[in-house]
Amino acid sequence: MKNVKKKVLLSEKISDKGVKILTDAGFDVVVSPSTDEVSMKNAIKDVYGVIMRATSINENIIAAGKQLKIISRHGTGFDNIDVTSATKHGVLVAKVDGANAYSVAEYVIGAILTLGRRFINSNDAFRNGSMCVNGASLPGLAVRYNLNGYEIRGKTLGIIGFGRIGTILSSLALPLGLKVIAYDPYVKNTSQHVEHVEHVEHVELVDDVNIIYKNCEFISINVPLTKETENMISKKQLEMMKPTACIINAGRGGVVNEIDLANALNTNVIAGAALDVFLPEPPKAENPLLKAKNALLTAHIAGTTFEAGEALAMGAAQAIVDYANGLKPQFTVNPEVTGSLK
């Protein structure tokens, strides 16, 4: 690698700590001027590797990278990468697992408290002037406008997807007094997580996701978007839920049917929702969730704290450095491309 100048393209800026790993290894690092297809095709022509954040890379872009050897995902999910095309062109796809899991878990806890205590409603009431009544008391106005929320203690949190994020989430939720049940068809018991996550042995694993829909005040979605999970929660599932239920989706847009969710919120089928992900992203102006009642909308920030950003950037950069040095990156999506590398 020494004295060999290869180029790495960043679809968008990453933490300086990730850039330093690349430059210390002898790479030139460039940032694409835009993430649209034309810009990416022009920028990728002579690069060895590319680091992708949340925007997409399709076959046209991959094919334009005549020297491209690796696509490193700045995150865990890789539904924004055409893995089939990458494999066809002999391009390795790598990802970073677990680097932002704690940040996402914290986001879910924050959303649970925000929705359970109806902070959004109070904020809206102040901003629309409802709380500015001469001679009235704020506690009295809170009662008038139904702004008093609930303690989360004693409520049930259902976690759909019990991987790294789900297990960390359970370790944060249980000490707060929440009962936790989880569904994940790929996890048979909690014992595999006990060494790494506190309190996880107190989580009840269920083999029927409908148990979560029917029994939980809070439902956290922590699964990728696949053929199996697309529209996993639609009108039928929403109607199974308690009227006090709140959904938190920090997984992927498309897992929850957005039209059905907006209708459920507006007709009080469920009590609230926090959405950090949409399909597509950014959401279209006509997306009904933008005007739905009791919806907390955030800009795909659950896993992008400063700490997580540094860890993700360093992991994505290290994957490229490792591959260039003849090593198999820690987390590969299409390992068949690496051949005999270890």
Catalytic residues: 252, 281, 300
Tokens 């960390």 — which residue? 168
∠ CA 226-229-233, nearest 5°, is 150
Contact predicate 87/59, CB 8 Å: no
Q: 242: closest CA among 175, 150, 166, 176?
A: 150
* Sheet (strand 27-31) strand order: 27-31, 6-10, 49-52, 70-73, 92-94
Q: How far is CA 249 from CA 43, 299, 322, in A?
A: 33, 12, 33
What residues does 8 pair with on adjacent strands? 29, 49
For strands 218-221 and 6-10, give the pairing: unpaired
What residues does 248 pair with on adjacent strands? 220, 274
Q: 10: closest CA among 25, 39, 38, 2?
A: 39
Tokens 């008391």 — which residue? 137
Q: 319: closest CA among 110, 131, 50, 31?
A: 50
The one-letter amino acid at 163: G
Token pair for residue 311?
């860890």
Phi-psi category of 177—alpha, beta or left, where left has phi over 0 and alpha has psi -120 to 50?
left
Residue 179 CA neighbour count, 13 Å, CB half:
10
Query: H or E segment at 210?
Result: helix 209-215
